[in-house]
Amino acid sequence: MIANLAFTTPLLLAALLALPILWWLLRAVPPAPIKRRFPGIALLLGLKDDESQTDTTPWWLLLLRMIAVAGLIVGFAGPILNPDDRQPGDGPLLVVMDASWASARDWPARVSRVEAVLAEAARDGRPAALVKLTDPTPDAFEFTAADALLPGLAGMVPDPWTPTADSAGRLTELSEGRDFDSIWFSDGLDYPARADIATLLESRGELRVIQSARPAFALRPARFEGSDVAITALRAEADGPRDVTLTALGPDPNGVEQELARAVASFGNGETEAEVVLSLPTELRNRIRRFELQGIRSAGAVSLTDDALKRREVGLLASNDGQEAQDLLSPLFYLRRALVPTADLIDGTLEDMLLASPDVLILADIAAFSEAEVDALTDWVDAGGLLVRFAGPRVAATDIETVDPLMPVRLRAGGRSVGGALSWGEPKALRAFTRDSPFFGLPLPDDVTVTSQVVAQPDPNLAERTIASLADGTPLVTRNALGDGQIVLFHVTANAEWSTLPLSGLFVQMLERLAISTRPSELAATELEGTIWQAEETLDGFGRVRSADALAGISGELLADPTYGPDLRPGLYSNDDRRVALNVVAAEQTIAPAVWPASVTVEGIALEGETPLAGLLLTLAMALLAVDIVASLWLGGRLTLRGGATAAVVMVALSLPYAARAQGTEVELRAIEATAEVVLAYVKTGDATLDRVSQEGLAGLSQSLFRRTSVEPAPPIEVDLETDELSFYPLIYWPVSESQRLPSDAAYAKLNRFLRSGGMIVFDTRDGNLGGFGASTPAGRKLQSLARPLDIPALEPIPEDHVLTRAFYLLQDFPGRHASNDVWVEAAPADAEQVDGLPFRNLNDGVTPVLIGGNDWASAWARNAAGQPLYPVGRGFGGERQREMAIRFGINLVMHVLTGNYKSDQVHVPALLDRLGN
C-alpha cells in the first residue's frame, strides 16, 4: 500500500516540519474572549478563576487542527495511489488478439484494455498494429499511428472459433524480418497453434501476455442417456467447487422462446467436467432449441440441439381386422422394432392418434377411409404431418376408379409379383438413389430384393415423385407434398412378405432420412458426401443466435469434421427435413488453460488505475476544519442550543419532499377517478348533514340521468374548494349554508378559472319557501358574500325562451323541494331579438356559468340505492309531480352543461330548411 504511494510534488512535504511550530503557536494563543454586557457583573466582581490553564487551547483541539493542516499539506503534495511507473517502450508494437469464443466472456474489458494499450502507445509515439488471430488469414499488417487503430476497436467482435494453425503460419510469414514488441490478449485457453505463435512473437521482441482471470466455461453437445438428456459442462481451470446454472431454451406452445428447464452443474473440487442429467417429458424435450450456461456470454457456453435430441411421436396403424397373424407377420412388427429405440410410438384408432397430433403417422396396408377420416388426415398433413403408407393386399385391391387423395401417386389395380414361383424374372434389387432423393448416399445392401409391389400409374409427375425405385425403374417409394406436410408411399408391405427391405439396415436408415426416426449418432462422412446443407441459425462469438438466411449452402463433407471459420460458422444446418447442429465445442473436446513460458510477462486484464488521493485528503482536511469551527464555538461558549435546533429543523425540512410526493399520487388517483367518466360534483360545506344531502341528491340525479338519457355519470364526488382541482367537473352543486367558511383567495382564483373555462356552479340557498330571493334571508346574505369575489356576469330570472327550458324536457318551472320560480341565470345579451314567427330569440352563445336559486333541488333529487326518494316533496300526487319536475329540471341542467347551446341551434332548422328549399 505504502509502496504504491507517490507524490507529484514531494518537496511540499517539507512543510510538515512546520507543524511543531504551529503547535507551539496555537498553544500560545488563547481563544479570543467574547465581550458581554451584563448587569450581574456587580455580583461577579472579586470572583477568581479556579483553573489557570484554560487560557490555552485544549490538546485535542490542537491535535484536530494539526491533523487538518497535515492533511492539507499532504493533499497539496499530490499523493497518488498505484502510480503507473512502467518505463515507456519504444519501437513498433503489435497487439495480438485471440478474439475467440472464449474471449467473449469479458470482451468489453478486453477492448477497453486494448484501447488503453493503444492510447499509451500513441502517447509514447510508438507505431502499432492489431492482429486478430481468429482471422484465418490475417492481412498484412502495417505499423501505423496507434491512435488510428482506436476507431476500429469499437466494431471488433470475437469470433465463435479458436485460432487455427493457418493463422499461425500466416503470422510467421508476415512478421518475417521485422522486430517489434508484442502484447497478446490471450483468451486463457490452450490451442494447438498457441505455442508456435508465442515462440514466434518472443523471437521478434518483448512479449507481454494479458489474459483474464475470469474462469472459462464451455458446454458439450447434449446427448441421450436412456430416455434422459445428458449434457456436460467444461471448465478450464480445475480449482475449487463451483456451480453453474444450465438452462434449456426453446419455444413455448405459443412459439415464444422461453426457458424450458434449468439445472445446476456442480464442478467438484479439482474437476473440469460436470454432467447434468435432465429428465424431461417428450413434449418439452422436443421443443428445446439450445442449452446455455447462464450468465456466461460465450459461444462455447451455448450448445444447439438438432435431430439427435428429437424424438418424434409416431402413430402406427395397421389393418389387422381379426386376422390371427403371428407376430412376425404383423405388418407393424418391423416398423416397431426399427422405431422403438429412437421414437415415441403411439397406438390407437385413427381419431385418437390424430388428437395426439403425432409428427408421423404410419398406415400399413390401409386402403379405406371414411370421408371424415380423409378430411382429418388431410388437415393434419396440411398442417405439417408426415403420412407414411405401406402397400399390401388391401391397397393393391382398391378400385382403380377411386382416386385416393392420400396417395402420392395413382396406383394400378392389383400390383405385380416378380420372381415368384409362377412369375417370370428374378426378384428385383434396388437402383442406386438419385441425387434428388432424400436417401441419396445410402449404401445399398445386396440382399434387399422385392418380390411383390404395387405399381404406380404412369403419370407426368411420377418421375419427380419417385424417391426410390427398383432396378427396372418401377417406383418403390413415392412422395408427394401436401400443404406443409407430405405423404410417402412404400410400394411394398411393412413386413417381409413382399420384400426383404424391412429386414435390412437400409430400412432403418431410410426411416431416419425421412425424419421418422431420430438420428442415432454423429453423421458419417459417407452420408454427408455430396449433400448441401443450409445454415438456419448461426452463433456469434457471444453465443447469440443469429438467423442465417443470407449464408450460402455448405457441402456436406465440411460438416463431418468441422473446422470453423468465416465459411463454416457454428450453428444449425438443415438439409431437407434433417437438421444438424454444429457446436463450438465438440462431443469429446476438453478445454485446458494456456501455459506460458517463464520468459513471458502475464498480466491480468483489469487495469489498476492511478488513484489520486489529493481530493480525498483535502476534503478530509476541510471536514476536520469544519469540526474545528464547531468545537471552537462550543469551547468559547458561543454555541447555543438554538443553533442546534435550527440545524435540526433544516434537516427535517430537507426530508419533507418525500411526504409531498406521496400526496401527489393521491391527487393523481383522484384526477383519474374524476375524468374517467362524467362526474357531478358538489362543494364540501363542512356541514355533514348538508354534504350528505348533496351527495344523495347528485347520486339520485345521476341515477335518473343514467336511466333516461345517454349521460351515464359515475357516482358524484365531493370537492374541497381549497385542495381539489375543479377543472375535471362539468357542474358543481354548491348548497349555501350560513355556517360555511369563505373560501381562500387561491380557491376563488380556481373557481373563477373554472367559471371562465365553461364550468357551471349551481348555487342553492335552499330557502325558496322563505319569501323572495335575495338578501332577505340569512342564506341569501351568505350567498352574496360567497359570490362577491366570483367572476359572475349580469343575471336575470330564467327567461321563457332560455335553452334550459328545452335542453331535454320542455319545462317552464324549475321546482326542487320548494317551488319558487326565482331562478337566476346569466342575462341574455341586450341585443337579442325575437324574430317574427320563431318561438325563441337568437341566443346562441355559451352556457350560463352560474345558476342561482333556492329550491333545494338536492333534496328533491335525492334517492337511495334502491331508487326510493329520501326526502318528502309536497303532498300526495302533486308532490310526486313536483319531484318529477325537479328531476326533469336536473336533467335539463346537466344536458345544458354538457351540450351547451345545441338545442338552441335546433330552432334554426326550419329557417335553414326554408332557405335551402328556396
Partner 1 sequence: MNQDPAINPAGLRHRAEAHAAAFPALLADAQHLAATVMLGDHGRRRAGMGDEFWQYRPAEDGDGLRAIDWRRSARGDAHFVRQKEWQAAQSVMFWVDDALSMTFTGGNNRPTKGHRARVLALALCVLLNRGGERFGLANRGTPPRRGEAQLTRLAGHLMDAAFGGETDIDYGTPNARVLPAGSRAVFLSDFFGDPEPVTAALTKATDRGVSGILIQVLDPDEEAFPYDGRTIFETMSGAVKFETLKAGKLKDDYLARLAARKAQMRDLCRATGWRYLCHHTDTSALEALMWAYRALDKSP
Please give the residue ranges that form the binding site for partner 1 (CB under 8 A): 30-45, 47, 49-52, 54-55, 635-638
Grid look-up 385542495 returns 723
Q: How far is the CB of 64 from partner 1 (least distance, A)?
A: 17
Tell whether the torsion through CA atoms of 199, 204, 206 and 211 is positive or negative: negative
Q: How far is the CB of 61 from partner 1 (least distance, A)?
A: 13
SS3 (DSSP) at 824 = strand
Q: Which residues pair with 783 in a beta bridge?
A: none
- With respect to partner 1, which residue has the nearer C-beta, 64 or 209? 64
Contacts of 319 (CB under 8 A, 6+ apart): 331, 364, 365, 366, 367, 392, 394
Residue 301's closest CA among 567, 135, 558, 539? 539
- With respect to partner 1, which residue has the nearer C-beta, 50 or 666? 50
- With respect to partner 1, which residue has the nearer C-beta, 637 or 793? 637
- With respect to partner 1, which residue has the nearer C-beta, 36 or 875? 36
Q: How far is the CB of 640 from partner 1 (least distance, A)?
A: 8
- With respect to partner 1, which residue has the nearer C-beta, 41 or 598? 41
Own/partner long-range contacts of 616-619 (Cβ < 8 Å, ≥24 apart): 616/75, 617/71, 617/72, 617/74, 617/75, 617/79, 618/71, 618/72, 618/75, 618/76
Instruction: Give the Cα separation of 396 and 493 in Å (integer).
Output: 10
Q: How far is the CB of 798 from partner 1 (least distance, A)?
A: 56
Evaluate whether 237 touches 593 at the Cβ level (below 8 Å). yes
Region of residue 419 (left: phi > 0; alpha: psi -120 to 50; beta: else): left
Q: How far is the CB of 624 from partner 1 (least distance, A)?
A: 21
Q: How far is the CB of 638 from partner 1 (least distance, A)?
A: 7
Instruction: Give the Cα separation of 916 and 910 in Å (integer).
Output: 10
Q: How far is the CB of 846 from partner 1 (least distance, A)?
A: 56
Exposed, middle or buried by CB within 10 Å (0-12, 13-18, 19+), for 633? middle
- With respect to partner 1, which residue has the nearer C-beta, 49 or 399? 49
DSSP 703: H
Q: How far is the CB of 54 from partner 1 (least distance, A)?
A: 5
Cell of 135: 482471422
SS3 (DSSP) at 56 = coil
Q: How far is the CB of 40 from partner 1 (least distance, A)?
A: 5
- With respect to partner 1, which residue has the nearer C-beta, 30 or 872? 30
Q: How far is the CB of 62 from partner 1 (least distance, A)?
A: 16
- With respect to partner 1, which residue has the nearer C-beta, 31 or 169? 31
* Phi and psi at residue 596, to the nearest 5°: -105, 145
Q: How far is the CB of 65 from partner 1 (least distance, A)?
A: 17
Evaluate whether 376 touches 351 at the Cβ level (below 8 Å). yes
Residue 726's closest CA among 755, 705, 698, 700? 755
- With respect to partner 1, which residue has the nearer C-beta, 422 or 641? 641
Residue 215's closest CA among 544, 590, 539, 593? 593
Helices (H), ranges, 125-231: 150-153, 165-174, 194-204
Grid look-up 458581554 returns 36
- With respect to partner 1, which residue has the nearer C-beta, 33 or 253? 33
Q: Other CB atoms closer than 10 Å to residue 290's CB: what's the count?
A: 22
- With respect to partner 1, which residue has the nearer C-beta, 144 or 640? 640
Contacts of 121 (CB under 8 A, 6+ apart): 93, 127, 128, 146
Q: How far is the CB of 32 from partner 1 (least distance, A)?
A: 7
Cell of 567: 465459411
Q: How far is the CB of 53 from partner 1 (least distance, A)?
A: 9
Residue 261's closest CA among 234, 228, 299? 228
- With respect to partner 1, which residue has the nearer C-beta, 59 or 902? 59
Instruction: Give the Cα separation of 62 and 26 in Å (integer).
Output: 7
Instruction: Give the Cα separation of 685 and 764 in Å (integer).
Output: 12
DSSP 301: G
Segment (H or E) for 488: strand 485-490
Instruction: Give the Cα separation of 820 and 807 in Å (integer).
Output: 20
Instruction: Give the Cα separation of 244 and 259 in Å (integer).
Output: 16
- With respect to partner 1, which residue has the nearer C-beta, 35 or 435? 35
Q: How far is the CB of 639 from partner 1 (least distance, A)?
A: 9
- With respect to partner 1, which residue has the nearer C-beta, 34 or 653? 34
- With respect to partner 1, which residue has the nearer C-beta, 55 or 275? 55
Q: How far is the CB of 22 from partner 1 (least distance, A)?
A: 21
Contacts of 810 (CB under 8 A, 6+ apart): none
- With respect to partner 1, which residue has the nearer C-beta, 30 or 270? 30
Q: How far is the CB of 745 from partner 1 (least distance, A)?
A: 30
Residue 249's closest CA among 307, 294, 290, 303? 290
Q: How far is the CB of 632 from partner 1 (least distance, A)?
A: 9
* Phi and psi at residue 354, to the nearest 5°: -65, -35
- With respect to partner 1, which residue has the nearer C-beta, 44 or 810? 44
